[in-house]
Amino acid sequence: MTISNTQDSVHSDDEKSNSESSKKCSATHDVMDNSLCWINGSMVSPQLASISVFDHGLLYGDGVFEGIRFYQAKIFRLQAHLARLRQSLAALAINLPLSDLEVETTLNELVRLSVEKGNDSAYIRLLVTRGIGSLGIDPRSCLTPSVVMIVAPLTLASERDIQQGLTLMVSSVRRFSSDMLDPQIKSLNYLNNIMARQQANAAGADEAIMLNASGYVAEASTENIFVVRQGVLSTPSVAEGALAGITRAEIVRIACELGIKVTEPRLTVYDLYSADEVFLTGTGAELIPVQKIDGRLMKSCPGRIFKQLSQKFSECVLK
């Protein structure tokens, strides 16, 4: 009987695993079916889209990207994204073979096509790699950068996440410092972010908080972080390893308009544990409140200031 029950349990686990894999595969196909892809000047079917195995973006993560949103067929803060893209490219000495106007024109055409497919609000991924070259890291073998633009549906934070908040953990994986790989470069190399997220996954948390080499709070694995204490809104500065997030800048601007004091101090884990409110911001995440950090419940989730900022941000993206 014991053996039979064990076998039944194994079969049940296998069936559950196969079912979950099938659902993930189906979801991936659904996303691809509703996506658009442009590579180096040509529209390509997402199912057939490919780049060379000799592209240094694939081989070495040698390139940069931007994650952009559009709402009701209007791209949100495109000029800010293009400015940050240009800065990242300049840091890596990669020349974008398109003007900002050409990029904007192409993206607007992709948005138009997306609207025709029934998606008037979605996500854009704009990638620029150093291009095709020989095996070996020497960038001189890459003559022409590759440019990829993808439009795809985005899975928004659920109403449950917004109402209940996320569970976070402080990761042991540290954010790169500016004398290593400057976090202000939005590069294709996200390995330390991925490893931090793996820790969160293994711990049953929704997201990981990354500290810098000095032990100060930098950001989450893919979002900026904000802390509220006694009515003051604080967020790590880019000098501490935070990305100069577009949504982050928007939240700071909105907060100032609302008369909320904003600071960029050095934040420690203690500041997170003892905060009145904590929330995350990002292009994909928008604003998401935090319920718990390392098992410690926040005093308020979603908090009063989060609600104010979230409402104003929602109004802003639809203007």
- pLDDT tens per residue across span 107-133: 999 999 999 999 999 999 999 999 999
Q: In the 8-state DSSP scheme, what is residue 259?
A: T
Q: What percentage of residues in the chain have a pLDDT greater than 70?
A: 90
pLDDT in tens, 165-181: 999 999 999 998 888 88
Cα(222)–Cα(216) distance, integer angstroms:
17
- State whether residue 163 is helix, strand or coil: helix
Is a pLDDT exceeding 90 seen at residue 147? Answer: yes
Q: What is the pTM of this model?
A: 0.89
Q: Answer for the pair 188, 126: CB distance below 8 angstroms, yes or no.
A: no
Shortest CA distance to 152 belongs to which of 62, 243, 35? Answer: 35
What are the phi and psi torsion angles at 28 (to 5°)?
A: -65, -45
Average pLDDT, the chain: 92
- Dihedral angle, C-alpha 21, 27, 30, 35, nearest 10 °: -110
- Note if 299 is an active site residue: no
User: Considering 23, 24, 74, 186, which one is annotated as catalytic?
Assistant: 186
Is a pLDDT exceeding 90 seen at residue 26? Answer: no
Count of alpha carbons within 13 angstroms of residue 137, beta-carbon side: 3
Cross-strand pairs, 217: 211
Is a pLDDT exceeding 80 seen at residue 182? Answer: yes
Band (2; pLDDT cuts 50, 70, 90): very low
pLDDT the model gives residue 16: 57
Residues sharing a CB contact under 8 Å with residue 301, sequence separation 6 or more, in sequence order: 164, 165, 277, 289, 290, 291
What are the phi and psi torsion angles at 292 (to 5°)?
A: -150, 140
pLDDT in tens, 233-288: 999 999 999 999 999 999 999 999 999 999 999 999 999 999 999 999 999 999 99
pLDDT the model gives residue 33: 81
- State whether residue 226 is helix, strand or coil: strand
The structural domains of the chain, ordered by start, are: 34-152 (3.30.470.10), 159-317 (3.20.10.10)
Is a pLDDT exceeding 90 seen at residue 49? Answer: yes
pLDDT the model gives residue 4: 46
Cα(91)–Cα(213) distance, integer angstroms:
22
pLDDT the model gives residue 30: 67
Band (34; pLDDT cuts 50, 70, 90): confident
Parallel, antiparallel or unpaired: strands 74-75 and 277-282: unpaired
